[in-house]
Structure 1
Amino acid sequence: MLPDAAASALPRRVIGASAFNWTPEVIRAERAATSIAVDIVADRVSPVIEIEPGQLWRSFPVTRTDEAALLRDRLAAAGGRVSIVGASLDEWMSPTRRRTEEERLEFLAPQLHAAHALGAVGLRLPIGQAGPGLLRRLQPLLHELDLVLFEEAQGSQTPDSPSSAGAYEVIAELDDPHVRLLIDISMLMPAVPVSYLDELERGGVPGSLIERVRDDWRNPATLPAIVDVLRSGGVPEPVHTLYMDMIVRFGRSSVDAIRPVLPLVSGFHLKFWDLEDADGRVWQPVRDLGAVLATTGFDGVLTSEWGGHEWLDSDPAQMTRDHIAGAREALGAA
């Protein structure tokens, strides 16, 4: 659960919107990224937003607190606020020298102060990146600023994954409400997005693999088949990066995978790729999650995050509105 002060500051049961959904518009740079973020609130997509400072300010990672406070005030004037801030941890001082633990702390500290100035509940890092030593160094500052450090797990990073299990254990051992998990429901995909498979097929990925992924995604033998095609050179260059989503970003677990760690979870990314609900692939994971959360009294942060803009040219505001509406219905049904 969130610390009381932070939790009470957020509207209850609100599904926020991630400004990440507007990445294509930020890249086009036809207007300031901060104005795009403010308009998510002003256009009534959501009163609560998750932001990516690296997309907003050239000064990142040393975002000035006055810049952060100005955005906080602009959002407040529009009737909104920030939930979570996407943090970054650059491990290298140079091509040949890694940062020391003290230097890693110095890299992150300004981001914590910026998150505080933004009025955020907390900030987010990939699970396991900080490591136990840095987490312990960060704890006093997290307590001082009343922030939560969310360690985000997604795709195949389940609690029983050999590569991730140790990071979950560290959070449990710290037993600190200021260091918590954020689960991205890309971990719980029953099938691969329809539009994604269409894009791979148009890009020249072998039809036999497309069919196998479409019909048998959760079969343990499907991932080795995906890797085999990649190693054989069978993935055309134009869709090579997109193809890697099946290995890195798409999970194949059921909601049972996260039950053991639910007491450590204070946030969820309700990740979606498109809204084509063939065989329940969009809304069934949300219904399953809602059924579990209904028994736990969860009162953390829920965020609509659209990952499909990598291959879809759709309006992010409409996609996010439609997804939030559908997610509310799916959670309510549970």
Structure 2
Amino acid sequence: MFNGGLAAGDHEVAVRLDLRNVYMQFGPGAYGMVDGSATRTLTLLPAEAEAEAEADAGTASGVVVTASGVAVTEHPERSGQSERPEPAPTTIGRIEQAVSLYGFEERLVDVPSYGVADMFAELNDLGVQKFELIGSMVFDQYPRPKAAEIRAINQLAEKYGVRANSYGGYLDKGKITGRDATDADIMLDVTADLMTARDLGAPFLRSGDIPLHLLEASAAMAERYGVRIGIEVHAPHKPSDASIQAMLARMDEIDSPYMGLVPDFGCFIERPAQPALDRHIANGAKPELLDYVIEHRHDGLDEAGMQATIASMGGGEAEKWAISEMFGFLSFGPADIEGFRTLLHRTQYFHSKFYHVTQDLTDPQIPVDKLLAAIVESGFQGVLLSEYEGHAFHLDDAHEQLERHLRLEQKVLNGLSVLAG
């Protein structure tokens, strides 16, 4: 018997799980919720058999638990990895390419033996030296990871010859149900993320939405820790939005190199990614209804109005989820290139977000050529960080997609260099 309860054998277990999106606040005490409920069949083994199975799994995957208790996956086929020469930075003109480890999340979730060492090995294969690490994705303890966790990451980074460009943190303004974070709560989170970025050797912290009245204090704290803060400008916001321009104006008043922006190219989606549409169709959405939403997305209807219209046309749950995405983090429309230009003088680095690059190296969703042209014309010197989000469609093709995206950027940037010359 397991804990005096379920006997060994197969059991169907249903779990109700409501996940709060901490960075999606819609109003005081109101946060985006995702239903993560699921039903699974679990097989319970007798204690002796369970111990043997765990031992066999550990041996097979090469998981070694260090004295600190941190599990690090070693791969025999990469035993000579530390002897590899340090990869040269992928630099075109004044722009250096980097990769967000966020892009590998699908495999991290689905493959138990996959870990940070594998991600760093993939960076080696891609010829990229710099990366962004997401704290809540990698660390067991967040927002302030254990020293042993940070040490393990740094040891792996040294082994694979890669280094952190940036650390991705969040502001959880709703840790306690029905209570919004105070200024002191927010500053504690900012400080914790700055400390972690410093300990990882990352020069930048990609931070959450710090309130305007705390920007100056946050900049001072960032200077104290020697880490520059970049607040992400993310969809569904556009650079020309009043809230973004107000934040930019406040940053100009503060005029500190330790406080700036990280524009995310997801703000410039002009059409939904085909893998996203394919996923909705596979879930039961009618293609003709999706086409209607795309065609009429900017005809004046808000999300509630579009939901009602599609429901009256026979739409169901699949269409409901599709509309929610198209009015949310996958919002699309004419790219706000002129608004983008207004951000460039306060930009720390870029999230070169993408969802799908074709075999012939084109991005059908995001006008990469126009964005990179604006960056080059501004005289920006720094990092362009490829951030793949195909895992949003449950696709495990990060390596292939990142390789294509890096080559696409190189093609565009080299073309701009020729024109400039």
| C-alpha contact (below 8 Å) 1:266/1:299 kept by paired residues | no
**Structure of higher RCO (CA pairs closer than 8 Å, 6+ residues apart):** 1
- Give the distance between the partners of 2:167 and 2:114, measured in 1 at CA: 18
111, 133, 149: which one aligns with 2:213? 133
2:106 aligns with 24
| C-alpha contact (below 8 Å) 2:133/2:164 kept by paired residues | yes
Question: Alpha-carbon deviation of 1:320?
Answer: 1.0
| C-alpha contact (below 8 Å) 2:355/2:390 kept by paired residues | yes
- Give the distance between the partners of 2:280 and 2:175, measured in 1 at CA: 37
Question: Alpha-carbon deviation of 1:198?
Answer: 2.9
Question: Alpha-carbon deviation of 1:206?
Answer: 4.3
- Give the distance between the partners of 2:161 and 2:241, measured in 1 at CA: 41
Cα 1:280–1:224 change in 2 (3 A) is farther
| Residue 184 in structure 1 maps to residue 264 in structure 2 | yes
- Could you report, residue by residue, the CA deviation over 1:294-328 in whole angstroms, capped at 9, with x for unpaired residues? 22211122111112222152321121112111121
Cα 1:163–1:141 change in 2 (3 A) is closer
| Residue 229 in structure 1 maps to residue 306 in structure 2 | yes
| Residue 294 in structure 1 maps to residue 376 in structure 2 | yes
2:187 aligns with 105
1:220 aligns with 298
Question: Alpha-carbon deviation of 1:230?
Answer: 2.1
- Give the distance between the partners of 1:70 and 1:243, measured in 2 at CA: 42
1:13 aligns with 95
| C-alpha contact (below 8 Å) 1:33/1:55 kept by paired residues | no
Count the aligned residue pairs: 321
Question: Alpha-carbon deviation of 1:24?
Answer: 1.1
Question: Alpha-carbon deviation of 1:122?
Answer: 1.1
Question: Alpha-carbon deviation of 1:139?
Answer: 2.0
Deviates more, 1:155-164 or 1:274-283: 274-283
1:172 aligns with 252
- Give the distance between the partners of 1:279 and 1:26, measured in 2 at CA: 26
- Give the distance between the partners of 1:306 and 1:229, measured in 2 at CA: 29
1:5 aligns with none
Could you list the runs of 5+ residues in structure 1 that have no partner in the other structure? Answer: 1-8
1:211 aligns with 291
Question: Alpha-carbon deviation of 1:333?
Answer: 2.0
| Residue 304 in structure 1 maps to residue 386 in structure 2 | yes
| C-alpha contact (below 8 Å) 1:57/1:63 kept by paired residues | yes
| C-alpha contact (below 8 Å) 1:151/1:182 kept by paired residues | yes
- Give the distance between the partners of 1:305 and 1:69, measured in 2 at CA: 25
| Residue 262 in structure 1 maps to residue 344 in structure 2 | yes
Q: SS of the residue aligned with 1:97?
A: coil
Deviates more, 1:78-87 or 1:234-243: 234-243
2:60 aligns with none
Q: What pairs up with 1:75-86 in 2 under 5 angstroms? A: 75-86=157-168
Deviates more, 1:16-25 or 1:160-169: 160-169
- Give the distance between the partners of 2:90 and 2:136, measured in 1 at CA: 23
Percentage of pairs with the same residue: 18
Cα 1:107–1:155 change in 2 (3 A) is closer
Question: Alpha-carbon deviation of 1:199?
Answer: 2.7
- Give the distance between the partners of 2:114 and 2:291, measured in 1 at CA: 42
Letter of the aligned partner of 1:134 in structure 2?
Answer: L
- Give the distance between the partners of 1:160 and 1:277, measured in 2 at CA: 33
- Give the distance between the partners of 1:226 and 1:140, measured in 2 at CA: 40
Deviates more, 1:151-160 or 1:13-22: 151-160
| C-alpha contact (below 8 Å) 1:255/1:285 kept by paired residues | no
- Could you report, residue by residue, the CA deviation over 1:192-229 in whole angstroms, capped at 9, with x for unpaired residues? 22222233334343444433455x48x731x7276533
Could you list the runs of 5+ residues in structure 2 that have no partner in the other structure? Answer: 1-88, 417-421
Letter of the aligned partner of 2:338 in structure 1?
Answer: D
- Give the distance between the partners of 1:286 and 1:84, measured in 2 at CA: 22
TM-score, normalized by length of structure 2?
A: 0.68
| Structure having the higher Rg | 2
| Residue 71 in structure 1 maps to residue 153 in structure 2 | yes
2:38 aligns with none
Cα 1:280–1:268 change in 2 (3 A) is same
| C-alpha contact (below 8 Å) 1:196/1:311 kept by paired residues | yes
More strand by share: 2
Cα 1:39–1:300 change in 2 (3 A) is same
Question: Alpha-carbon deviation of 1:160?
Answer: 2.5
2:400 aligns with 318
1:3 aligns with none
Cα 1:132–1:201 change in 2 (3 A) is same
Q: SS of the residue aligned with 1:295?
A: helix
| C-alpha contact (below 8 Å) 1:194/1:276 kept by paired residues | no
